[in-house]
Amino acid sequence: MKRSLSLTFTAILILCAMIVNGCGGSSDPGQSPVSQITPTEISADDLHAAYNENEIAADKRYKTHVLAVSGIIQTIGKDVFNRPFVILRSKNSPTAVQCFFNGADQTDALAALKSGQQVRIRGRCSGKMLGTVVVNECLTP
The tens digit of pLDDT for each residue in 15-67 reads 343 344 344 444 455 677 888 888 999 999 999 999 999 999 999 999 999 99
Total structural domains in the chain? Answer: 1
The answer to whether 64 and 58 are in contact (CB under 8 A) is no
Quote the CA–CA distance of 117 and 89 in Å, as a whole number: 11
- List beta partners, residue 101: 138
Q: What is the extent of the structural domain holding 131?
A: 2-139
Q: What is the CATH number of the domain that holds 23?
A: 2.40.50.140
pTM as predicted: 0.77
- List beta partners, residue 136: 124
